[in-house]
Amino acid sequence: MNPIELSVIVPVYNEEQGLHALFDRLYPALDKLGVSYEVVFINDGSRDRSAAILREQFQKRPDVTRVVLFNGNFGQHMAIMAGFEHCRGQRIVTLDADLQNPPEDIGKLLAKMDEGHDYIGSIRRMRQDSWWRGVASRAMNRLRERITRIKMTDQGCMLRAYSRDIIDAINSCQEGNTFIPALAYTFAQSPAEVVVGHEERAVGESKYSLYSLIRLNFDLMTGFSVVPLQIFSFTGIIVSLLSAFFVVFLLIRRMIVGPEAEGLFTLFAIAFFLIGITLFGIGLLGEYIGRIYQQVRHRPRYLVQAILEKSE
């Protein structure tokens, strides 16, 4: 058998309404590319009929379809990790199942790769998500830009292409909580970006609640930077210096003007402000330590129930 040129990885979580529309666009788009390909679906413990629909699709196109079934919900990034471990293509493209990014744009990514790049990121043209996600995402993008060395215009867009070398490097990582586009970027030698289309989610709703988005962004920040911890060390240093000056000032004032008792609420305000910073710092430490704890337990990152693939 000749080697597979392209693997498309699609994580699926409760997408029963949209899967048929996805098949109807994804397969023709890939057929048109004229390369040998495979599509790897990962069912991330869906509680609807998604697994059954994927099974049917596997029976329809067993030559180019592989399905990994998780026995629980391990998250989009773990699903993609599993896809990476089970794919065989020389180039790997990740795509969401909800058709927010057009599968027809995969050709664009591959064309850019032909120019010699090993990692193709993407930028969503006219992003169609709720306004608060746009605002939050821009803020996180800016923060990431400052505290990590990762340069991405649009970190949230998952339609991306990777070379086999990068995927092999990712497969050798045993990270539990991670952010795939950032992890891949750290291994890329010549990253590039293209603009891709973006549509509103046609059916179903976003699988990310505010809570899981916050968790995901903590994964990104803690997984790729310790600057948040350093900020606390620096804040600590500055506050200690300022209070040292303050003590000296009070001492001198005590000798010249005499004792003072006003300003009680100013004192409260300053104290509460510092307590707030301290609590945030402890919480932030907890985020790192919790992840270290999860990592040192060495539990399996995900559990595969079954893999549907044609035996060679």
**Residue 43 contacts which entry, ligand UDP, Mg ion, none (Cβ below 5-8 A, type-dependent):** none
DSSP label at residue 105: G
Q: Which of 38, 98, 154, 193 binds Mg ion (CB under 5 A)?
A: 98
Based on CB atoms, which residue is closest to Mg ion, 199 or 309? Answer: 199
Backbone angles phi, psi at 201, to 5 degrees: -65, 120
Part of the chain binding ligand UDP (CB under 6 A), chosen from 96-104, 164-172, 182-190, 297-305: 96-104
- Binding flag, residue 44, Mg ion (CB under 5 A): no
Query: Nearest distance from residue 68's CB to ligand UDP, in Å?
Result: 11
CB 150 within 8 A of CB 183: no
Part of the chain binding ligand UDP (CB under 6 A), chosen from 1-9, 94-102, 136-144, 172-180: 94-102
- Binding flag, residue 96, ligand UDP (CB under 6 A): yes
Q: What is the DSSP string of 225-261?
A: --HHHHHHHHHHHHHHHHHHHHHHHHHHHHHHT----
**Burial track 213-252 (b if 16+ CB lie within 10 A, e otherwise):** beebbbbbbbbbbeebeeebeeeeeeeeeeeeeeeeeeee
Locate 117 and state its tokens: 């790049």
Strands ordered across the beta sheet of 37-43: 191-196, 119-124, 160-163, 91-94, 6-12, 37-43, 65-70, 304-308
Name residue, tokens 């597979």: 4
**Residue 44 contacts which entry, Mg ion, ligand UDP, none (Cβ below 5-8 A, type-dependent):** ligand UDP
Q: Which of 50, 100, 101, 222 binds Mg ion (CB under 5 A)?
A: 100
- Binding flag, residue 124, ligand UDP (CB under 6 A): no
Query: Nearest distance from residue 3's CB to ligand UDP, in Å?
Result: 27
Return the closest-CA partner of residue 108 out of 197, 169, 182, 187. 197
**Residue 176 contacts which entry, Mg ion, ligand UDP, none (Cβ below 5-8 A, type-dependent):** none
Based on CB atoms, which residue is closest to Mg ion, 20 or 310? Answer: 20
Part of the chain binding ligand UDP (CB under 6 A), chosen from 91-99, 142-150, 245-253, 273-281: 91-99
Query: Nearest distance from residue 134's CB to ligand UDP, in Å?
Result: 12
The alpha carbon of 310 is separated from its chain's Cα centroid by a whole number of angstroms, namely 30
Query: Nearest distance from residue 271's CB to ligand UDP, in Å?
Result: 40
Q: Which of 86, 117, 144, 207 binds ligand UDP (CB under 6 A)?
A: 207
Q: Which of 6, 7, 8, 13 binds ligand UDP (CB under 6 A)?
A: 13
**Where are the alpha helices (H) located in 173-226, listed in sequence order?**
180-187, 210-224
- Binding flag, residue 159, ligand UDP (CB under 6 A): no
- Binding flag, residue 76, ligand UDP (CB under 6 A): yes
Locate 282 and state its tokens: 């402890």
Query: Nearest distance from residue 11's CB to Mg ion, in Å?
Result: 11
Part of the chain binding ligand UDP (CB under 6 A), chosen from 52-60, 68-76, 187-195, 288-296: 68-76
Query: Nearest distance from residue 60's CB to Mg ion, in Å?
Result: 25
Return the closest-CA partner of residue 168 out of 224, 118, 115, 122. 118
Q: What is the DSSP string of 44-104?
A: ---SSTHHHHHHHHHHHSTTTEEEEEESS---HHHHHHHHHHH---SEEEE--TTSSS-GG
Contacts with ligand UDP by CB under 6 A lie at: 11-13, 15, 44, 73, 75-76, 79, 96-98, 100, 206-208
